[in-house]
Amino acid sequence: MAQFDEKISKDQFEPAIIDASTSERISKPSLNYWQDAWLRVRKNKGAIVSLVVIGILIIMALIGPSLSKFEFDKQNTKHANLPPRIEALENISWLPFDGTRTLKNGNVVNPYEQKQIEEYYWFGTDALGRDQFSRVWKGMQISLYIAFLAAFIDMVIGVAFGAISGYFGGRIDNIMQRIIEVLSGIPNLVIVILMIIVLKPGIISITVALTITGWVSMARVVRAQVLKLKNQEFVLASRTLGASHAKIIFKHLIPNLAGVIIINTMFTIPNAIFFEAFLSFIGLGLQEPLASLGTLIDEGFKSMIAFPYQMLVPAIIISVIMIAFNMIADGLRDALDPKMRD
């Protein structure tokens, strides 16, 4: 106990300095919304892997057709239905790239040797002897075109329609919402079939069909968000300062909607890609000799038992695209949603 009795001299103390300016200081580094979101996207491994996968697929779609020695629409019936064969990988027995295929009775044959073909078809050839490798990446280009088209339509028509409808309200809103209901009431497939009557089946009729209906869900989401935001006090404050409608929409509403818009777009993209593939699969989409992942799957599907690789490769690629886009969308939603802020 003796140690507690020790006298502590006054000069050991120093008065604390209470300074208002230091108490107002914030030590945390300043991050804006996007830096903050990127920190959280980075934590999501699935989204990052998907981002890389999509990046690789986009690069392959752009350079893939020219990597192969064969044109995507060059027919060579002598080389029809060849299995995949890749130069260095053909000697690794467990990889399916050795140019052999198994017949129904279990015999393994090598059509390249039977027909004495020197060329290497990396993903094999189809029933008309066209190089599957360049056809797959050509099809991928179509899917990417659809993806960007859908994103563009969503961001431009959907956002503008929803923002105007929600912001001005009243009779304008009423009329615009009835238009949306009419549009969403007609099934997409019916619109495409009607388009085909007027136009030829192909990329243009799909583009028109997507333009007519693709933005409806985005317009609804944006309208709902605008309705929520437009009576927030920061918008009222801007109005009392005398800001114009355009300024309020572009400076206050759209930046606050950015997260929702991006998330919605990312979820629309895989749907649009699948829509195109589906139309091509049932024969309403792209026509020969153009290739899309849908038509490739359709052709491969006809000889699925004999030549499974013809369907497998495009099917795997479209699945990978869809999964990757969905995972990115998921990661972005977690990152951009302010309710998840930690």
Contact set with other proteins (CB under 8 A): 20-21, 24-26, 28, 30-33, 232-234, 236-243, 247, 251-252, 255-256, 258, 338
Q: Which DSSP state fits 313? A: H
Least distance (Å) between residue 38 CB and other proteins: 15
- Provide φ and ψ at 98, rounded to 5°: -95, 5
Least distance (Å) between residue 20 CB and other proteins: 7
- Nearer Cβ to other proteins, position 45 or 228? 228
- Nearer Cβ to other proteins, position 74 or 239? 239
Give the span between the Cα atoms of 184 and 288, in whole angstroms. Answer: 31
Closest CA to 126 of 295, 13, 316: 295
Give, for 77, the enclosing helix (H) or strand (E). none
- Nearer Cβ to other proteins, position 243 or 323? 243
- Nearer Cβ to other proteins, position 224 or 282? 224
Least distance (Å) between residue 18 CB and other proteins: 15
- Give the three-state DSSP class for 214: coil
Least distance (Å) between residue 251 CB and other proteins: 8
Angle between helices 45-67 and 309-336 (to 10 degrees): 140
Least distance (Å) between residue 175 CB and other proteins: 20
Closest CA to 127 of 310, 286, 277, 288: 310
- Nearer Cβ to other proteins, position 31 or 63? 31
- Nearer Cβ to other proteins, position 33 or 301? 33
- Nearer Cβ to other proteins, position 33 or 38? 33
**Residues 139 and 296 sit within 8 Å (Cβ to Cβ):** yes
Closest CA to 313 of 325, 301, 323, 324: 301
Least distance (Å) between residue 92 CB and other proteins: 54
Give the span between the Cα atoms of 43 and 112, in whole angstroms. Answer: 48
Residue carrying the six token digits 């960007």 = 148
Give the span between the Cα atoms of 18 and 50, in whole angstroms. Answer: 52
Distance of CA 245 to the CA centre of its chain: 32
Least distance (Å) between residue 258 CB and other proteins: 8
**Residues 57 and 317 sit within 8 Å (Cβ to Cβ):** yes
